Each structure stands twice: as C-alpha cells, then as structure tokens.
Amino acid sequence: MFEDHIWLRQLHDQFADERQRSRFTFVEVQEYRQEIAVLWNDDCAKEMNARFLNAMAESSEASLEAMRIQSEALARCRLDLENAHEFFNTAIDTSAVMHRHLEDARSSFRTIESQLNHGMAEFRVTDDNAAQADQLATEAEMAGNRAESAASYHD
Amino acid sequence: MLCFTGDNLAKLKIGASATISVGVHKGELVEVDHLVPKSLVPALAKDFANLRFVPKSVNRTKSDLIRWPVLQAVKIFVRHGLISETAVNPVQNLAENRMSVRSAKAILPGHTSHLASLPVLANFAAGATDPRLIISRMGQLIDRIRDWEPRADSAVTFAELTQRHTSEHATRTNSLLRHAQSRVRDDSDSAKILEAELEKWFQRGKIDMLRAGVCEQNALTACKRARQATQTWKHELHLANVWQGRAEYRENMARQEVERAEDALNRAQNALSRAEEQLEKARNQTKVVGRDSEGKAIREPIDTTPFEERVAEAQERLERCEERLERAQDELGRATAEREAAEARVNSCTHAVSLADQAEAAAAASLTSAKNGIAAVERASEEHIRATHFVRQVTDSLSNLQQAVLSMAKRITAASGHESDARSSLLTCQRHHASARFDSTKGCMEISWRMDQLSAFDRHITEF
C-alpha cells in the first residue's frame, strides 16, 4: 500500500504540473490577446471576442478554477487516505500484538490446566493413600486384637 | 490580386476600394461578393465565411443561376452550424433545376432585398492597420489557441485519471477498513472468549484449592491415626514380648521342677524298694535266744519293727514325691499355655505393627501427594496471575485496535467527502472545458475563415 501512496502522490504531482502548464498556456493566450488587441481591434475582433474568445476565456478560467478546487479536494482526500492507511497499519500491528498476548494467555491457560490436572491426580492419589492408610490401621487394630493381651490373659 | 500595395492601403485607410494590381483584371476595383446569395439565405449576408473578393467586372457579369458550388457552400455552412439544415433542400432544388436567384425569392424563407456589395475591406480601414500584420497576428492567435487546446485537454484527462485512481484508492482503502472492522469483530470475540476462559480457570482454581485443603486434612488425619496405631502396637508388642519372656521363664522353672520331682520320686521309689527288701530279709532272719534242751539253739524271728517303720517312712516319702510331681506337671502345663498365649500375642502384635507401619507409609505417601497437589494448584494460581496480566494486555490492545479502526473510519469518511467534492468539481471542470473547447474550435474556425478571406484579398486571381 505504501507504493500505492507514492504512486498516487506522483500522479497528483503530475496532475498539478499538467494543471499548471494548462494555466500557463491559457495565460499566454490571454496575454497574447491583450497584446494584439492594440492592433486588432476592429469590428471583426470585437465580434470574435464577443462570440468566442471571451466566452472561451471565461469557460477556461472556470474550468481551471474547478480543476484547482478538485486538485485541492483530491489532495485532502489523499492525505486522509494516507492517514487512514497509517491507522490501518497501526490496527494491524496492534492486532498482531494482541494476538501475541492472546497466545501467551492461551499458553498460560494450558499451563493452568496442566497444573490443575496434575493437582487433581495428586489429590486422587492422596485420597487413595489416605483410604489405604485408614484400612491398614483398621486391619492392624483387628490383627492386634485377635490375640489376648497379658492383662486379659491373667484376668 | 495583390491589393496590399502602398496605393491600395492608402485607399483602404479612407474606406475606398482597392485596385487589382496584377493579372488580367489589373486596374479593376475589387468588390465583395456573396458566395451564397444573400437573397437565398439572409442570415449569411454579413458572415465573413460567405464573402469572397472578386474583380468588379466579374461581379457585375456573373450568372444569376444557382450552381453546384453554392450548394456545396450551403452544405459546409450547415455542417458548421452557420445556417439551418432546412436551407439545403430548397437550394438543392434550385441547383438541380438550374433556377435563377430571382426565381428563388419566392421559395426561400427570410428573404431580404438585395444589398449592394460591401466596399472592399471596409472593416479593416477603421483601424488603419496593415491587414498583413493582422493576418499574421490572427494566425499566431490561432496557433496559440491550438497550443492551449491539447494542453487543456491533457490537464482535464489528468484530472479524470487522477480522480479515477484516487477513487479506486479510496475504494481499496474502504475494503481495508471492512477487513479491519471484521478483524476487530473477530478479535473482540476472541477477547470475550479469553475473558470467559480466564474466569473459568479462576473458578476451577478456587474449587481445586478447597479440594486441596480437604485432601491435606484427610492426609494429616490418616497420618495421625497411622502414627497412633504404630505407637500403640509397638507398645503392645513390647508388652507381649515381656510377657512371652516371663512365660518362657515360668515354663522353664516348671519343667525343672518336674524333673526334680521325677528324680525325687525315683529316689523315693528306690528307697521304698530297699526298705521293703530289708523288711523281707528281716522277716526271714532269726536270732538265738537260748538253747533248748537238746542244746540246740533256740531261735526266734528278729524284731522287724524298725524295718517296717522304714518301709512306712519310704512309702510316705514316695507319696509326697508323687504329689510333688503332680503339682510340678500341673504348673508346667499352665506355664506352657501361658507361653503359647504370649507367643500368639507377640505374633498378632507383630502383624499389627507391620500393618500400622504400612498404614503410616501410605499416610505419608498421601501427605506427600497432597503437598504435591497443593504445590501444583499454587503454581496454577501463580500462572493465573500471569494469564490475568496477558488478558489485560489483550483488552488494552483490543481497545487500541478499536480506536485505530474508528479513526481510520473517520478518515475514510472525510476522504469520501473530499472525493465527492473533487468529483463535483471535475464535472464542473469538464462542463466548462467542453464549453471552452467548443468556443475555441468555433472561434479558430471563424477566425481562420476570416483570415482566409483577408488573405484572399491579396492573392493572384486564379478563377472567376
């Protein structure tokens, strides 16, 4: 897109040059008209001016003025588009940064899940071992009580 | 005709006609003639395009008939918009029927009375300028206008091109905006899912932490109980061992007493046998107590009382030994039973201690697992803090992303407005340019015709 901006800017510059050249040529024609008006000021000249040349000058001047306004509007448009592109690039960069953080967070979630699952497995082992310890303690009690103690023997 | 001689220019300055200076019409005045008779098309009466310079004799003697050149001229004027198309057919009819101008008066609209030919170059006379100079300036003016025309066309073409490419660029940028907006939506969804997942893991961590507490408590309880069992049964085993030792000692003592009682019984039995043997021997023994008459020794049995007493004593002693042996054997039986009970106790306590040891080991393993589990849950909790930090960064980035896309949208809206203004200006520009180009083309054509007419005034006569 950067190349597009450069190219568009060059096109706008060329347009400005063309506009300028057109204006120069137009001014030359008008200056020449003024120059020859001293010599050529008969009825024919008046008629040509009235019928064609004055109208042509006015239309051309209006055309150049409209072109100037168009050129300025296009320049503003181009600047806005360049700014829009800068914001777009910022958005893309920001989105990339966001996705990196997103991936970091997901990685953390995977670690959390792994740790919690590991913890759960350990707790299951804890429960099993505790139950086994209880069972063994009970069995020890039963085994110990299977034979008479000295006290009970003498009683 | 070479009219621009010094004499003729002097005449022209005062409004007089020029005189032809060379050729067959040398010396004749130059007159202006209408190519298309003004009686046919009055609108062309004062149009320079319709004028031509001819010698006076030619003008006065020309045919009154409508000829093909007139028809051609009418068609040219129609093509350039000088007269209406309705003039073509009547002129064509006149030409085809070889009718005269006079007869055409009745058939052409706008007919006015015939005017006298205009004085040659009367228009130029007022300025008193050399017509050749004017022709030259007119030519240069046309050249400059024709230089301007492609330049103006090129500028307008560039305006259109620039407008089109800028519009396309705006369209592409708009596509990028939609892409960015779509990405914002996707990223927002991802962030929401992430936050929900963070909350889910927080809740799971909380539950697991509670479970960890319960598990640790269970493990500690199991450890305590197993330890108590171990201590109890080790103590009981000690007592059983002591008891077993005492029982074994008692049994040994009892066994020794039995042996002693048996020895004593044997001795008593031997003593009784000897006493009974001596008593029997004594009962057969006699002693000489006198002489009979015959001189024979009188014999009488000896007193056996001491022997009998000894037998009785031996029997009494034997009875006592038998009683002693019976007592010793009873004691031995009881001692053996006690020893066996003690041994059984020792065995059961040993087994109980073994089981209690296993219970303690299992409880210790349980406690270790509980601690490992708690450590894992604590690590998960620490990781959750990191995850919270990452999620916060995600949220911040999303906010920045939304802000950037919003700003982009604003810029594109502004750009679209400028593009629209530019398009409107381009339309205005195109409209004015078309008008200017129309005027320039028409103007150049008109000036060119007039310049030709003016030049023709000074050319050699080659026709008429």
pLDDT digits (tens, 9 = 90+) for B58-87: 777 776 677 777 777 777 777 767 777 777
Alpha-carbon torsion B58, B63, B69, B71, what sign? positive
One-character DSSP codes across B128-163: T--HHHHHHHHHHHHHHHHHHHHHHHHHHHHHHHHH
> B418 touching A, CB under 8 A?
yes
Residues on chain B touching A90 (C-beta within 8 angstroms): 400, 404
Three-class secondary structure of residue B288 per DSSP: strand
Lowest model confidence (mean pLDDT) among A60-64, A74-78, B27-31, B90-94: B90-94
Task: Identify residue B142 by its one-letter amino acid code.
Answer: I
Q: Which of residues 160-219 of B touch A (CB under 8 A)?
A: 161-163, 165-166, 169-170, 172-173, 176-177, 180, 183-184, 187, 190-191, 194, 197-198, 201, 204-205, 208, 211-212, 215-216, 218-219
- The answer on pLDDT for B141 being more than 90 is yes
Angstrom CA distances, B94 to A103, B40, B107, B113, stand at 96, 10, 9, 19
Tell me which residue of B14, B18, B48 sits closest to B33, measured CA to CA. B48
Using one digit for the tens of pLDDT, what is the confidence trace for A12-58?
A: 999 999 999 999 999 999 999 999 988 888 888 999 999 999 999 99
pLDDT given for residue B456 in this prediction: 77
Express as a percent the part of chain B with pLDDT over 90.
62
Using one digit for the tens of pLDDT, what is the confidence trace for B444-464?
A: 999 998 888 888 776 655 444
Phi/psi-derived region of residue B2, left when phi > 0, alpha when psi is between -120 and 50, beta in every other case: left
Q: How many domains does chain A have?
A: 1
- B179 compared with B90, residue with greater pLDDT: B179
Token pair belonging to B241 = 């061992």
pLDDT given for residue A14 in this prediction: 93
Token pair belonging to B200 = 């889910």
Token pair belonging to B300 = 């009488």
The continuous run of DSSP H or E covering B85 comes out as: none
Lowest model confidence (mean pLDDT) among A74-78, A96-100, B8-12, B326-330: B8-12
Express as a percent the part of chain A with pLDDT over 70.
99
- The answer on pLDDT for B110 being more than 70 is no
Is the pTM for the entire model greater than 0.80? no
Q: How many CB atoms lie within 10 A of CB B326?
A: 13
Average pLDDT over residues B77-101: 74
Token pair belonging to A29 = 């024609």
pLDDT given for residue B389 in this prediction: 96
pLDDT given for residue B48 in this prediction: 66
Tell me which residue of B233, B229, B258, B412 sits closest to B322, measured CA to CA. B258
pLDDT band for position A87 (50/70/90)? very high
Token pair belonging to B363 = 């409880």
Reported residue count of chain B is 464
- The answer on pLDDT for B402 being more than 50 is yes
Domain with A47 in it: 2-154
- The answer on pLDDT for B115 being more than 70 is no
The answer to whether the CB of B298 falls within 8 A of the CB of B288 is yes
Partner residue facing B391 (CB), from A70, A105, A141:
A105
Q: Which of residues 52-81 of A touch B (CB under 8 A)?
A: 52-53, 55-57, 59-60, 62-64, 66-67, 69-71, 73-74, 76-78, 80-81
Tell me which residue of B14, B90, B48 sits closest to B457, measured CA to CA. B48
Cα B324 to Cα B332: distance, rounded to the nearest angstrom: 12
